[in-house]
């Protein structure tokens, strides 16, 4: 993306080098002090140019893809199949790339060319993370970092992985979801020499084996974790506590993983600092809202071909994800109901024009049921029994626990496979519902999501890793922290040039009046946006 000189000058003034101040870091309730001023990003420099990747005309057309890091995938198409490799589990195959390296385990290395094209497409829509890479490539702020990553292996995640490597880090990567890996992207990364342990359709045993392969490697001890769901953190803490205690920190981006970290902190069993990226402004207000607003429609259309006009839709939860889903479906003419436990969110839903109900009040009339709470068993068997024939049921929350899918695996119900990630559940009386992705994240498993939004999230993760890695001893205690406001603003500023956006600069009189620096932070830590 081209950058105008005016916008760059104003951005530089805003970001100031960026010699960030961490005076607004928020901590969990257990933490006593705000960390001192932050100089860990001082090596990050600014350059004016960005490489424009070659235009790619070919795009995947798969109907099933990934998670909050997603694009259309070749993995379900004819480019890759179990028949091609004899149906072998990747763990049973001897694999090597064109350079003879074999430190990886993926579905099919032959898909690397397709994966590289997917990554190049993603880069075109991820200006912030690409700009972060370009500006700081020479300084190598992550030199010496050894990162275990457990996220979705998608084209957008690949851009993050290659950025961390370009900034000096060594990485080993696995998937946080058994369905979200794009096999062609994993192949492209393996072909480029990255230790990738992931393939679409892993078993539960495969899943934990892949994480373990990333943690345990001869003559290589990790010092950072980038986690999505807390599984790498959980396994390392449980099986390899000596390695865990030597970490410089954890960066976690999911509701589930953050919840686990706060539990550890409350129990005083968290022995290292952790950064809660999930609740950073640049994650919550962009990934959770804008990404889900677009991807929910894509997910439902790809899997069911449903028309939304006039449909009765129940959305459980009115947080940022729920808000995005409600806006999207209302815009296409659906009649939307909301369930909530939080009176503040319920009031917001009412004032946005949605009727707030209990699930029991609307369960018999709805055509589509979507969960967005991040909680457990929000939709249970007694609710599913009362749904009308043909109702579509799916989950947009992080975990696969919101819908009690286990209660549907009983002898009286029949499961019929319709297509990838689409099942009919048939009752004895002939009633059937359509369950998407077996209750897992529907946008991660069944659709694509906007690369631009994921650029914001990936940049936030990279900045958090740099902060934890470069922070002097004692700045962060063994607790859970929010990303400093100044860094949130820096991440946002990196994405403004792609819109040719020009920030207004405060005058000296305005600075004196408001007490706000010309370079930020512009809002107090408690500001909600």
Question: Which residue ranges are tagged as binding site for substrate?
Answer: 154, 228, 253, 283, 287
Enumerate the known binding-site residues for NAD(+).
319-324, 340, 443
**For 501, phi and psi rounded to 5 degrees?**
-85, 140
Other beta carbons within 10 Å of 58: 9
Are the C-beta atoms of residues 37 and 418 closer than 8 Å to each other?
Answer: no
Q: How far apart are CA 314 and CA 355, in angstroms?
A: 10
Enumerate the known binding-site residues.
154, 228, 253, 283, 287, 319-324, 340, 443
DSSP 476-525: S-SSEEEPPHHHHHHHHHHHGGGGT--PPPPPHHHHHHH---TTS--S-T
β-strands 368-371, 312-316 pairing: parallel
β-strands 432-436, 422-426 pairing: antiparallel
Q: How far apart are CA 38 and CA 275, in angstroms?
A: 14
The helix/strand/coil state of 527 is coil
**CB burial of residue 121 (10 Å; 0-12, 13-18, 19+):** buried
Q: At what angle do helices 320-331 and 343-351 cross, to 10 degrees?
A: 20
CB-side exposure of 406: number of CA atoms within 13 Å?
A: 5
Q: How far apart are CA 27 and CA 200, in angstroms?
A: 36
């Amino acid at each position: 993306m081209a950058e105008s000189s005016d916008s760059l000058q104003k951005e530089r003034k805003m970001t100031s080098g960026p010699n960030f101040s961490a005076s607004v870091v928020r901590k969990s309730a257990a933490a006593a002090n705000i960390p001192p001023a932050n100089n860990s990003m001082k090596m990050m420099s600014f350059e004016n140019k960005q490489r424009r990747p070659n235009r790619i005309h070919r795009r995947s057309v798969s109907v099933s893809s990934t998670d909050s890091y997603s694009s259309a995938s070749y993995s379900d198409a004819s480019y890759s199949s179990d028949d091609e490799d004899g149906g072998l589990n990747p763990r049973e195959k001897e694999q090597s790339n064109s350079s003879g390296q074999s430190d990886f385990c993926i579905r099919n290395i032959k898909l690397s060319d397709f994966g590289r094209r997917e990554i190049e497409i993603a880069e075109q829509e991820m200006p912030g993370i690409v700009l972060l890479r370009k500006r700081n490539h020479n300084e190598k702020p992550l030199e010496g970092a050894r990162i275990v990553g457990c996220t979705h292996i998608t084209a957008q995640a690949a851009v993050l992985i290659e950025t961390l490597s370009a900034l000096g880090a060594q990485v080993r990567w696995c998937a946080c979801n058994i369905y979200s890996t794009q096999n062609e992207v994993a192949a492209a990364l393996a072909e480029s020499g990255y230790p990738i342990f992931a393939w679409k359709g892993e078993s539960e045993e495969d899943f934990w084996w892949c994480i373990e392969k990333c943690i345990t490697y001869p003559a290589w001890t990790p010092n950072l974790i980038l986690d999505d769901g807390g599984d790498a953190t959980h396994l390392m803490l449980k099986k390899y506590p000596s390695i865990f205690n030597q970490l410089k920190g954890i960066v976690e981006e999911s509701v589930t993983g953050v919840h686990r970290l706060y539990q550890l902190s409350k129990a005083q069993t968290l022995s290292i600092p952790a950064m809660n990226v999930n609740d950073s402004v640049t994650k919550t207000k962009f990934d959770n809202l804008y990404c889900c607003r677009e991807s929910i429609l894509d997910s439902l259309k790809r899997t069911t071909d449903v028309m939304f006009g006039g449909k009765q839709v129940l959305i459980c939860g009115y947080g940022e994800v729920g808000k995005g889903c409600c806006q999207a479906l209302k815009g296409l003419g659906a009649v939307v109901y909301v369930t909530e436990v939080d009176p503040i969110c319920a009031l917001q839903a009412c004032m946005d024009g949605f009727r707030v109900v209990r699930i029991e009040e609307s369960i018999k009339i709805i055509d589509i049921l979507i969960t967005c709470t991040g909680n457990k068993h929000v939709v249970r068997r007694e609710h599913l029994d009362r749904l009308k024939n043909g109702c579509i049921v799916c989950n947009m929350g992080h975990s696969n626990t919101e819908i009690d899918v286990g209660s549907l695996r009983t002898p009286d119900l029949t499961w019929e496979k319709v297509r990838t990630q689409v099942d009919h559940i048939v009752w004895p009386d002939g009633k059937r519902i359509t369950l998407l992705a077996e209750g897992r994240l529907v946008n991660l498993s069944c659709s694509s999501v906007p690369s631009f939004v994921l650029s914001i999230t990936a940049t936030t993760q990279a900045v958090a890793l740099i902060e934890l890695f470069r922070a002097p001893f004692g700045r962060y205690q063994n607790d859970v922290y929010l990303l400093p406001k100044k860094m949130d603003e820096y991440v946002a500023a990196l994405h403004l040039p792609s819109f040719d956006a020009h920030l207004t600069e405060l005058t000296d009189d305005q600075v004196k009046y408001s007490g706000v620096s010309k370079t930020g932070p512009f809002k107090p830590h408690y500001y909600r946006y």
